[in-house]
Amino acid sequence: MGAVLIPAFTQSPSSARALLFQAMIFFALIFSIVAAGLSWQADLLVSLLVPGFDSSQLLHAADALNLVLWLIPLTALAGTTTAYLHSKNKFAVASLGTLIVNASIIAGLYLVYADLASLQALSLFVILGGLLRLMSQVVFIRPVFRPLEYLKPLLLHRTMIVKYSQAMFSGSLLFLFPVLARAFASFEDSGSVATLNYSMRLIELPMAVCISFLSVILFPRLAQSFESDPDLHRRYIRHGLQATLALAIIASLILILLADEYVSLVYGYGEMSKQDIGQVTSLITIGLLVLPLQGLCVYNTAIFNSRTDTRTPMIINGFGLLSFFGVLQFEISGGGLTGILWGLVICFGLILVLQLLSLKIDRLRFSEVYFDKNFLAGGACAIIGCFVMGSGIASLQQPLLLKLLLGFLAAIVCLLVIPLFYTEARMAIKSILGTGK
pLDDT digits (tens, 9 = 90+) for 27-65: 999 999 999 999 898 888 888 877 877 788 888 888 878
Buried b (16+ CB within 10 A) or exposed e, 183-213: bbbbebeeebbebbebbbebbeebbeebbbe
- Non-local (6+) Cβ contacts of 411 within 8 A are 250, 251, 254, 386
Confidence (pLDDT) at 337 = 96
User: Facing residues of 364 across strands?
Assistant: 361
Rounded-to-integer distance, Cα 15 and Cα 22, Å: 11
Task: Name which of 359, 393, 355, 378 is nearest 249 in CA terms.
Answer: 378
Band (pLDDT 50/70/90 cuts) for residue 231 is very high
Tell me the one-letter amino acid at 288.
L
Continuous segment of H or E residues that includes residue 330: none
Rounded-to-integer distance, Cα 112 and Cα 118, Å: 6
User: Facing residues of 361 across strands?
Assistant: 364
DSSP structure class, residue 437: -
Q: Would the pLDDT of 23 be above 50? A: yes
Rounded-to-integer distance, Cα 223 and Cα 54, Å: 48
- Non-local (6+) Cβ contacts of 241 within 8 A are 296, 299, 300, 366, 369, 370
Rounded-to-integer distance, Cα 24 and Cα 5, Å: 11
Rounded-to-integer distance, Cα 90 and Cα 83, Å: 10
Confidence (pLDDT) at 67 = 86
3-class SS shares of the chain: helix, strand, coil, % to 5: 80, 0, 20
pTM of the shown model: 0.85
Q: Would the pLDDT of 294 be above 90? A: yes
Q: Would the pLDDT of 209 be above 60? A: yes
